[in-house]
Amino acid sequence: MLCIHGGAGSGKTLAVNVCLRGLEPDEDVRRIAFRARPTARAVRHELFTALDLAGQPPRHPSEFDGPLKTALAERPRTFLVDEAQWFNGEAFEYFRYLWDDLSMRLAVIFVGGEGCYTVLRREPMLFSRMFIWQHVTRLAPDEVAERVPLFRPVWAGADPAGIAFADQHAAHGNFRSWARLTAHVRLALARAGRERVDRKVLGWAFGRLGGFA
């Protein structure tokens, strides 16, 4: 089990998905996400659905364990559990319960926001089983200068000073913000018939973004 955590828009889920495709392209990866605080029953239902088990989900929680364990023992599987900061102790405990079964070859990757580490830290039995903790932070200015030109061709020929200006006033080292800005910059270049990013193009793109400073 491992945990990837960091601020919103830092590229955590994208990075995990890209790495999984690169490392294990044929691996059986099941992606699970909750947008509110799930109960253990909700976790069981989601796992039942994610594993494509036949029939209707059982009515009683104890009836889930047999089908889930049978399916998980068939072959190695990876659960990518997104928005893990929403979980409570009961929900986390169910993942630990499945992972501890020696008949299974199960990897669990928890991905969550900045509060994810704090939430998991409150669950000592699960916390002690974590093999890797990876904190994803904003890109530093030198990382922006190095990596943004590799992100999309539109930035490859851009003036480094322009990239630094865009990061300072709009993207702020946030990967999702860079993705949004890139989409607007490409549109601006197409509409203006330009080939290179300059301050005028950036100004037009900034006008389409909220909250830049």
Domain ranges across the chain: 2-136, 141-207
* Average predicted confidence (pLDDT) for the chain: 88
pLDDT at 178: 94
pLDDT at 81: 92
Cα 66 to Cα 69: distance, rounded to the nearest angstrom: 5
For 77-125, how does the pLDDT look when each residue is reduced to its tens digit (9 = 90+)?
899 999 888 888 888 888 898 899 888 888 999 999 888 888 888 888 8
Pairing of strands 77-82, 106-112: parallel
- The distance between the two most distant Cα atoms of the chain, rounded to a whole number of Å, is 63
pLDDT at 209: 82
pLDDT band, residue 26 (cuts 50/70/90): low
pLDDT at 18: 87
Is pLDDT of 197 > 70?
A: yes
Lowest mean pLDDT among 35-39, 103-107, 140-144, 154-158: 35-39
- Nearest CA-CA partner of 30 in 17, 40, 42: 17
pLDDT at 138: 92
Displacement of CA 10 from its chain's centroid (Å): 9
pLDDT at 212: 52
Residue type, 20: L
What percentage of the chain exceeds 70 in pLDDT?
A: 96
Task: Tally the C-alpha atoms within 13 A of residue 198's C-alpha that lie toward its C-beta.
Answer: 6
pLDDT at 211: 52
Is pLDDT of 135 > 60?
A: yes
pLDDT at 121: 87
Cα 201 to Cα 213: distance, rounded to the nearest angstrom: 16
- Nearest CA-CA partner of 129 in 79, 87, 95, 78: 95
For 53-76, how does the pLDDT look when each residue is reduced to its tens digit (9 = 90+)?
888 888 887 888 888 998 889 888
| Mean per-residue pLDDT, 163-189 | 93
> What's the pTM?
0.82
pLDDT at 153: 92
SS (H, E, C) the chain: CEEEEECCCCCHHHHHHHHHHHHCCCCCEEEEECCCCCCHHHHHHHHHHHCCCCCCCCCCHHHCHHHHHHHHCCCCEEEEEECHHHCCHHHHHHHHHHHCCCCCCEEEEEEECCCHHHHHHCCHHHHCCCCEEEEECCCCHHHHHHHHHHHCHHHHCCCHHHHHHHHHHHHCCCHHHHHHHHHHHHHHHHHHCCCCCCHHHHHHHHHCCCCCC
pLDDT at 181: 94
The CATH class of 2-136 is: alpha beta
pLDDT at 194: 85
Contact between 1 and 108 under an 8 Å Cβ cutoff? The reply is: yes
